[in-house]
Amino acid sequence: MTSLRESPIRRQKSSRPTWLVALLVVVALLVVVGIGYGILSLVRGSSDSSASESAAPVPNPCVTTMVAAGDALPKPAKVKVNVYNATATSGLASKTATAVEKRGFTIVDVANDPTGKAITGVAQIRFGPKGEPGARLLLLYLPGAELVQLDRKGRQVDLAVGDGYTDLASQAEVDAQLAITSPVVSGPGCASPVSEPSPS
């Protein structure tokens, strides 16, 4: 009986060309470098955006505050008033000047109206650009009077009393007007110029 021995199967080693191995190594290195560059770009981009956001200037706010009308007007003692009689009623300028002085205003001159024109209304309050705050304060004491702006220097105010004048408003009425508040915007962030309260 013949015994058969199986001859072992020999596997040939696969031989790869050297250039292919080198090419694979180069490709692998390029992939690794590309991935590393991509990660670095992402990290750098996020840090740059964070830096730019933190460096961005904070917008200045536009603040709205409530301001009383009296805060924009002078005290009566700071307002110098000339009181004129623009009617045919004798002594009206002197009587009115006494009443205005009792409210704290400073009286400068008392006389007949130098314009010589009769006023049928309550009064005319004449003023130059610098005298406007004082004129607006005086207007609170003479409701219905007419504000007349003149081209004059200084802060003096003329009060020309007319036929429609009877008496000054009570101090309580004036104080109520001075206490009225209105919104005023201020700050670099405001789109419109700062408004100033003007008593009605």
Give per-residue pLDDT as tens, 123-171: 999 999 999 999 999 999 999 999 999 999 999 999 999 999 999 999 9
Q: How far apart are CA 51 and CA 49, in angstroms?
A: 5
Cα pseudo-dihedral 198, 96, 80, 175, rounded to 10:
-40
pLDDT for the residue 177: 92
- What are the backbone dihedrals phi and psi of residue 112, each rounded to the nearest 5 degrees, phi first? -70, 155
- Kindly state the greatest CA–CA separation across the chain: 167
Give per-residue pLDDT as tens, 1-31: 555 555 555 555 555 677 667 777 777 777 7
pLDDT band, residue 199 (cuts 50/70/90): very low
* Cβ proximity of 86 and 164 under 8 Å: no
Give per-residue pLDDT as tens, 45-86: 655 555 455 555 556 678 778 778 888 899 999 999 999 999
